[in-house]
Amino acid sequence: MKTSITRSAIPIAALLAIAAAFSAPAVADGGTISYTPIDLGAPLGGTASESSSLTPNGWVAGAASLPGNGTEHAVLWRFGFPTDLGTLGGPNSAVAWPNHSVAGQVVGIAETADLNPLNENWSCGFAVFATIDNHVCLGFVWQDGKMTGLPTLGGVNGFATSVNDFGQIVGWAEDTVHDSTCAPPQILQFEAVVWSPLTHTPRALPPFPGDLDGAATSINDRGQVVGITGTCDQAVGRFTGRHAVMWDDGRVIDMGSLGGIAWNTPMDVNQEGDATGFSDLAGDSDGSPNFHAFFWKRGQKMVDIGLLAPGDFLSEGLGINDFDQVVGISIPSSHAFIWQNGTLTDLNSMLAAGTTLVLVLANEIDDAGDITGIAFDPNTGDTPAYVATPNRAPDGSIISFSVRTTNSTSSPKTMLSMSIFKQLQLRLPYGRFMTAPGKVP
């Protein structure tokens, strides 16, 4: 294990970049921005890992596969050194959404040793973990070396997605209602939840009027929460995402859509209350995925971020910083993108010379411009987590914020093999609904 830790350690210069100041980074004149990706490895014995969170104190959180890649554990990289956060007694755990806290708290989803008495697939086994084993899933908070399960609303399962600097945790949890709008094997209703600091008492957030179920995906320090409401459905997106919403000061605000009635899902909200996610286009009456990444600013219509490459038909906005830079993935080319000032760019066109990693997914971007997600290593076939840091001038300023537009909409040079695509498919939010490279739904 010592060799794995050493191999995964981040150079000191990169650590300083990750822990950069909260204010907008200074920009030197001239040049084009380029990123240097740092391979975080797969520290738990498998060949895959994912980083979903960057915190201002230099922590990176996500998950890594165990030998055989059939199970995974939540992982926290502190200053480059990985810690296995364990589980709640079951086989799997993960930090699946961006966490924003600087208070030493990390939240995610973990399985317990108990089997679900209702045999529900639930959100964790159906859309996050590689295997569906019917273990009970609970949201967790990890702090000071201890993982603690979060209570539900009386039902079996729960899921934690995000925590702010005040210790407010959001996610979703089942109650005791047998919901007739559920798609089998799902049985119980679930609602968006805020867990209080310290006591972790759950409080349900009301669905948009006319809806029954919901889920919260992100919270900022203002207490603004984004998420979805709709019907119970399969407990994973689709018609549960009839409405993309923001809960703000007791109000449920409809964020609109890109024209569809399903999969309308905000994934991250910044401190200004701006959000990104994905939303179906018109013509989705059967629930088939038909979504594009979006940017949303309160009081304005959703902006369709679009697709990265010819042949792509889906995209997801997964992370946003306070400067409205959005990162995500375009599918099936499976390349990470950055969107800023109305321009969509393949992150792989912005990598420093000599880089061999292919960035296939970007989960989060912080205010220093650092980006984290999943990469593909063509030399080993592994899919490791990465942190990509902007290259800086000697005074610490980013060389430029202007991006190359050449090749930003051309077909990516590196296409993933079917086996690598399947690995990615299991690690992408709602990825089980993706189709294979070169195919359309």
pLDDT for the residue 255: 98
Question: What does the pLDDT average to over 186-202?
Answer: 97
What pLDDT was estimated at residue 416?
Answer: 55
Overall average pLDDT of the 418-430 stretch: 57
* Residue 86: count of CB within 10 angstroms of its CB: 15
> What are the residue ranges spanned by the domains of the chain?
2-433
- State mean pLDDT over 16-32: 37
Which pairs from 133-137 meet CB under 8 Å and 24+ separation?
Answer: 133/90, 133/91, 133/92, 135/90, 135/91, 135/92, 135/111, 136/90, 136/111, 136/112, 137/109, 137/110, 137/111, 137/112
- How sure is the predictor about 429, in pLDDT bands with cuts at 50, 70 and 90? low
Q: Which of 63-67, 100-104, 324-328 has the lowest mean pLDDT?
A: 100-104
Please give the mean pLDDT across all residues of the chain: 85
CA proximity to 37, closest of 292, 362, 319: 362
- pLDDT of 333 reads 86
Residue 170, beta-bridge partner list: 162, 194
State which H helix or E strand residue 15 sits in.
helix 12-18
Go through 271-297 and write b for each residue having 16 or more CB atoms within 10 A of its CB, e for each that does not.
bbbbbbbbbbeeebeebebbbbbbbbe
DSSP 92-132: EEE--S----SSS-EEEEEEEEEEPTT---HHHHHHTSSS-
The residue among 292, 299, 296 whose CA lies nearest residue 263 is 292
Angstrom distances, CA of residue 100 to CA of 52, 180, 322, 327: 11, 36, 12, 16
pLDDT of residue 334: 86
Angle at 18 between CA 12 and CA 24, to 5 degrees: 135
- Using the predicted structure, report yes or no on whether residue 424 has a pLDDT greater than 70: no
pTM to 2 decimals?
0.88
Q: Read off the pLDDT of each residue in 198-217 and give the average, rounded to a whole number.
A: 97
Distance (Å, rounded) from C-alpha 132 to C-alpha 424? 17
Model confidence at 177: pLDDT above 90: yes
Structure tokens at 122: 């639930």
What mean pLDDT comes out for the span 187-213?
Answer: 97
- For the segment 72-89, the average pLDDT, to the nearest whole number, is 95
pLDDT category of residue 55 using cuts at 50, 70 and 90: confident
Report residue 17 as tokens. Answer: 């970049």
Amino acid at 347: L
Tell me which of 370 and 422 has the higher pLDDT: 370
The whole-number pLDDT of residue 187 equals: 97
Q: What is the pLDDT of residues 240-266, one digit of tens each?
A: 999 999 999 999 999 999 999 999 999
Q: How many residues does the chain have?
A: 441
- Say how far residue 366 (Cα) sits from the centre of its chain: 13
- Report residue 80's pLDDT band, with 50, 70 and 90 as the boundaries: confident
Mean pLDDT for the stretch of residues 259-282: 96
Q: Return the pLDDT at 402.
A: 37
Domain 2-433 maps to which CATH number in 2.130.10.150, 3.40.80.10, 3.40.640.10, 3.10.310.30? 2.130.10.150
Q: In the structure encoding, which two tokens stand for residue 415, read together?
A: 């296409």
Name which of 203, 225, 304, 299 is nearest 258 in CA terms.
304
CA–CA distances in Å: residue 88 to residues 108, 137, 202, 440: 11, 9, 19, 38
Share of the chain above pLDDT 90, in %: 67
Q: For residue 79, is pLDDT > 90?
A: no
pLDDT in tens, 126-155: 778 888 899 999 999 999 999 999 999 999
| pLDDT for 292 beyond 60 | yes
Can you tell me the distance from the alpha carbon of 58 to that of 56, in angstroms, rounded to the nearest whole number? 5
- 307/285 Cα distance (integer angstroms): 22
pLDDT score recorded for residue 101: 84
Mean pLDDT over 341-357 rounds to 91
pLDDT at 239: 95
